[in-house]
Amino acid sequence: MAVLNIPNTLTITRIVIIPIFITTIIYRRYDYSLYLFIIAAITDILDGLFARLTDQKTELGTFLDPLADKFLLVTSFIVLSSYGWIPGWLTITVISRDVIVIIGWFLLYLTAGISRVEPSIPGKITIWIQSLLIAYVLININFCISRDLPGILLWITTGITILSGLHYIYKGLKLAHAG
């Protein structure tokens, strides 16, 4: 199976968008930031869809897709919180969850030889909720909807992020005991 297929090309496109996205924020081209984030979100939807529909799943894609999501989200949270548009504590929560998941995967690999951990439904929901929060912030920056982020959106994002992190810890412990 070809490594450079449509799904992998879309994922690589998402990774290439990240520094351009950051540059648009630094140079205050928030309209471009919003467009690029929307394009990145669309590539995320399409790469998985194409991979399933055309049976073009590859090891590279399996590795790169979640990595692209993490890079885009973590980078977005760091940059948007450094500008004061997202609370720093939420960015710390998002990054901490990802670090814990990565360390857990590494420990599973070292102790049980398990190298592949499937994404969970709470994990996928977390990506979507975090993406919605970032999209809301970018829309708000461009169209001045409100001065503050809605508390409910912050707390839902925080709660889902923490719950999915706990779910991955539970899954990891379960896998470690089974292996």
Residue 115, token pair as written in the block: 């190298």
Give the CA radius of gyration of the chain: 17
Given a contact cutoff of 8 angstroms between Cβ atoms, the answer to whether 25 and 82 are in contact is no
pTM listed for this prediction = 0.89
Name all domains of the chain by residue range, CATH numbers in brackets: 6-178 (1.20.120.1760)
Note the pLDDT tens digit of each residue in 106-163. Answer: 888 888 777 776 788 999 899 999 999 999 999 999 998 877 778 899 999 999 999 9
